[in-house]
Amino acid sequence: MLAFTENQPSSTGKPESVFISWLLWQPRGADLAVEARKEVQKLARYGGADPDIARLRTMFASLAGSDGSLH
């Protein structure tokens, strides 16, 4: 879903907008917890270099039902 090509902060300040957009694009009947885990795994490769990505990852982890880091 997400593709970042640089290790620079995204500077968008809108991880909430990305999260809401992602939710709206999920197909009816999708297991949101499972899909959110997939996004957490994708975002994990970016580490904590960008606070927006870290916040987005936290939102997905919360939806996935995890209060810690997922592997």
Whether 35 has a pLDDT exceeding 60, the answer reads: yes
Spatial contact of 64 and 36, defined as CB atoms under 8 Å apart: yes
Structure tokens at 30: 């999708």
Predicted confidence at residue 70, as pLDDT, reads 47
Q: Mean pLDDT over residues 52-70, rounded?
A: 84
Q: Do the domain assignments include residue 58?
A: yes
Q: Do the domain assignments include residue 61?
A: yes
Q: Do the domain assignments include residue 20?
A: no
68 against 27, higher pLDDT:
27
Q: Do the domain assignments include residue 25?
A: no
> The domain containing residue 51 runs over which residues?
31-65
Q: What is the mean pLDDT of the chain?
A: 83
As for how many domains the chain has, the answer is: 1
Q: Do the domain assignments include residue 8?
A: no
Give dist(CA 24, CA 18) in Å, integer. 10
Predicted confidence at residue 49, as pLDDT, reads 80
